[in-house]
Amino acid sequence: MPKSKAESHKEAIMSALEEDTESQAIAAAARAAKGISIERPVRAQELPALVEKALDDSGEPFRLTFDDDSSLYLTTKEGILTATVSK
């Protein structure tokens, strides 16, 4: 069974943590997403600030939705980035 787009992006983001390039990996996932939301829909130009806040523990969790109907939820707590996939 092929991986969902959310699962593929989750793997890329978690791999990027080792190289400290997770912001770029999250941005790539966001560009591929059909929707980005926190408690409200988010415009693409708002995303860099949301990513930085999330990585600094001061932001809200957010969800990226892909055209295969998979979703990737990203949150940071106590400096630890968590990525969860749902289909």
Q: Which domain holds residue 71?
A: 5-86
Q: What percent of the chain has pLDDT over 70?
A: 91
Tokens representing 85? Answer: 């996939």
pTM: 0.77
CA gap 42, 34 in Å, rounded: 11
The per-residue pLDDT for 83 is 87
For residue range 14-56, list pLDDT tens digits in order.
999 889 888 888 888 888 999 878 767 777 777 777 777 776 7
Question: pLDDT tier at 85 (50, 70, 90 boundaries)?
Answer: very high
Q: Would you call 59 exposed, middle or buried from its count of C-beta atoms within 10 A (0-12, 13-18, 19+)?
A: middle
Tokens representing 44? Answer: 């693409």
- Range scoring the smallest mean pLDDT among 11-15, 17-21, 58-62: 58-62
Domain count, the chain: 1
3-state secondary structure 20-71: CCHHHHHHHHHHHCCEEECCCECCHHHHHHHHHHHHCCCCCCEEEECCCCCE
